[in-house]
Amino acid sequence: MTQALQAPTSVPRHVAIVMDGNGRWASQRHLPRLAGHKKGVDALRRAVQASLDQGVSVLTVFAFSSENWSRPAAEVAGLMDLLSLVLDREVESLAANGVRLHFPGDRAGLSERVAQGLAAAEARTAHNQRLVLNVCFNYGGRWDIAHAARRLVAEGREITEKNLSEATALAHVGDPDLLIRTGGEMRISNFLLWQSAYTELFFSACLWPDFDDLEMARALKAYAERERRFGQIGEQVQQPIGPQYA
């Protein structure tokens, strides 16, 4: 039996995950790609529980990118149906566990049914404070930066780093401390480009449907062993100095 890893002594406040490998997981088992996405929901459920257990305050996951529209139409339609199903089945349980839902992304490209479902889930969990769960849907890092810039122009505000940060889709949670990507790929694929300037990266060979508590513990342990300097030298660093700790 695999021995569980000890809990890390330094837990990231905000963890982000690129949930990659659903399609490959299904292909390896000669199943339709959508079967992998459905199995990936179980992995997300485990990641949420692990975040609650470990004391993570914010979990942000990449569920559907602005580039995913180019996938086969049947897969895209299946993902939209799966999202609606998950909202119907999971929101009450998440609300009962103190999870607050946000869905950063461009809702202009979504159907009225999906957009209304996202808004209802956000409203239902709006007062929860135990964990913020950002499910980035129809999201892209370049879209986020461009959208924030357009917002500042429309409001007549100067485009500065501070103002741009405040106008992005994840301004409500601050920057991620740790970004995990599963599936063996070593890139961030247009995810949280602005927010990840000083984020620690952890790449896992594990396909997303197989992501479990042990793999989450490996990522958190790797994070705890690193020194975050934010441009300073090691001797200067006494405590995290990123804006999310202000």
Tokens 């090691």 correspond to what residue?
234
SS3 50: helix
Name the nearest CA neighbour of 54 among 131, 121, 126, 116.
131
Q: Rounded distance, CA 59 to CA 17, Å?
A: 8
Q: How many C-beta neighbours within 10 Å does residue 28 have?
A: 11
Name the nearest CA neighbour of 18 among 52, 43, 38, 1.
43
Residue 202: beta bridge partners?
180
Order of strands across the sheet that contains 178-181: 99-102, 131-139, 58-65, 14-18, 178-181, 200-203
Residues taking part in catalysis: 20, 68
Q: Rounded distance, CA 179 to CA 12, Å?
A: 10
The HSE-up count of residue 99 (CA atoms within 13 Å, CB side) is 27
